[in-house]
Structure 1
Amino acid sequence: MKIVAQVKLIPEAEQAAALSATLRTVNDLACWVSEVAFALGVQREYELRKHTYAGLKARGLGAQAAQHVIKKVCDAYTTLHANIRAGNLGKPKSKRRIKAESKPVRFRPDAAQPYDDRCLSWQYDQQTVSLWTMAGRLKNVRFVCSADALKTLREYRKGEADLIERDGAYYLIATCDVPETEQYEPNGFLGVDLGIANIATTSTGYQAAGRGLNRYRRRQLALRAKLQKRGTKSAKRRLKERSRREQRHVKNTNHVIAKTIVTEAERTSSGISLEDLNGIRQRVRLRKPQRVALHSWAFAQLGGFIVYKARRAGVPLVFVDPAYTSQTCAECSHVDRRNRVDQGLFICRACGVVAHADRNASHNLAARGVAVWNAGRESRVPATHNGVSGRRSQPSSQLGATSKPGPLGPGQVD
């Protein structure tokens, strides 16, 4: 399993100047390579190297740095074409899609630059790195990180690391290949209902209320609007200081919630049943005042945190279809739109059970998780006769009983 570890560089003044000049130079050259690729219609790495490698070397890049710049451009065009095929940039002939297809990809001056082991070396005991720059090799550049991140880097770092600049600070984002813990056989499933009023509600009783986070977001939105309206130099400075503060707060909140859910599942030897919410922003139609809350909802980030923490802990996890889980009674399975009285109240019109709406939905998700897990470990191959020996093949139920299930992706049933 691949995860990333982030360390913050603490360069001296001369080292910081060299890092800044390097990032701006390689991204400026990446824009030039992108223009060549666009003009010639050549976006494969081997072909593009023929047209740009010599020019990059003549402009002062080392061999490895030149290769990384070319590969970065090719990856950018691969991502662009994938987004176009997926419809993320609109339909054919839409303004957004025409704009994306009619000009070469551009790179920000502070965009990430990849480094491999030939361009970057780590000294974990001294907590320093040595890396290539346009001014030569920089040695003894100090870095700081948490003790857990340092342990992960020391034991599992593998592959490239990205150098980025963010608000005047420099970071290295390193890839670590962490072995997954073997999954256990779950004793039931823990259903997780995601929402805005309640960020996460589990079938075991845990509920992460969203009241505080929503209040924090409204306060940040009002403050940004006030500073933008003022428009003075000091207001712009305050806006820059506060940039990404809300993002960091939400990320930390999601980490805490995800860790709590995975720990509870591991303690009870349960699996985790998550909603497959892909495309929900395109499916849902809301009034204008509600759109800010919907598009600020970081459900994908929370789901991603739960997935990777579960894989590290060996907790089985499945994705299930969330359709009608908020309208279905967990006791009698009666489905009625009127069962959901309001945001927090569920009253079944068939059996009369009264429950918290999100708690009821989490129990439905837990039941669907069991069904998906059991379906995933049963073979779908029908029983047939063996034409050579004349013996009947082993029944599919027996075949499924001997196979060990693996984690399922969103919407997969196997």
Structure 2
Amino acid sequence: MEFVIKISQFLLSLSLLIVLHELGHFIPAKLFKTKVEKFYLFFDVKYSLFKKKIGETVYGIGWLPLGGYVKIAGMIDESMDKEQMAQPPQPWEFRSKPAWQRLIIMLGGVTVNFILAYIIYVALSFTYGDTDVTTESMQDGFWIENQLLLDVGFKTGDKIVAINDEKVTTYSGVRKNLIKGEKYAIVRNGVNEEIVLPKDFLGQLSSAERKNGTFKLRIPFMVGDVPDTSINKSVDLKTGDILLSLNGKDVRYFDQVESRMSAYKDQSVNAIFLREDEKINRTLTVSPEGKIEVGLATHNSRFAELGYFDIIHKDYTFLESFGGGIDKFKDQVSNYFDQLGKIFTPSTGAYKGVGGFKAIFDVFPDQWNWQDFWSLTAFLSIMLAILNLLPIPALDGGHVVFLLFEMISGRKPSEKFLERAQVVGFFILIALVLFANGNDIFKAITN
């Protein structure tokens, strides 16, 4: 069921982005009276799952979910329709239109993607507001379980006060600066220290096992579920019970439980839990591996009530949400450009983190949450827009470069040159797709 939820979100988000991107090309093409021969979701290599001709355009769904396209008459694109291009130019063809009209048609897709992302962020601001955790309220710092972070010098309990000499005040601020973070100012046991990350930190992080996350909130052990196979299945525990102590020794955080339990392997321990506002005593059996075989639950608002950290929430009026949306939009665009900058700097090793369709699939949660779905869709829309603007022939950005050259120089590149550039761009794209998805396969094998 979890797979069905993830794949449903993945396909819905991908389909929405592709259709709207191609619609961004389709609408100005039609406004400028340019013939659009095909409008396809996914690629129809030799076969279509569905197609129907309405007017002069065939609308369809292909079987290969690697994107989508609109086929505009008289345009050198991935279809490489040399037969059509060999005919005399017609007034309804792309190549017959003024350069400024062709430029608008080519920029239509990325424009729609940027607008879509902004609208989503406005809607998210108005509907959900902003929720965050203040770093100042995290009295005992972060939970560090990632081995790479431990290797470079971080420890559980570190308080992060600045990244690259810029003060950070919220949990989200720490997480979103992970890509460009190079120097961390921390407080450890009341002493100010500094951690400088190695140049290839992002490459190492991309290659490391991901299940332990990065900087995590320190939370208590809250009971989630007790499986029927658990050695403590007969103990009266309920979802939401919070572990306070073991054999008289306080246990404030979940990250303390494993080390405490290791001292009681194959024994029984007296545990005190907090159930709502009442403390209860329970006797737990510890397995030979030092486990009590009880699932973990999270409930941040409950943890905030108990003083583990402070949650701040901001609501937006309808008008304020437009400002909140633009702030989120600018942050994501800036962060993605930072990420691309790292990827195209080989010494950082960030290229090792480039992922393909599996990487995109994996970012969707295994439970349906509309806030998460739309947040991810907005980010993917920005990603799609920026990647399409890369000056690679066969991408929108490649076409834009040639059109700008034509508009500035007054000389139009020959169709032969454009055909060759398209072939080169196609092979570059294939190489990038193979590299990204190859990274996915490599990580799946090695992690």
Q: TM-score normalised by the shorter chain: which range applies?
A: under 0.3
Q: Report which structure shows greater RCO (CA 8 Å, sep ≥6).
A: 2
> How high is the TM-score relative to the length of structure 2?
0.23
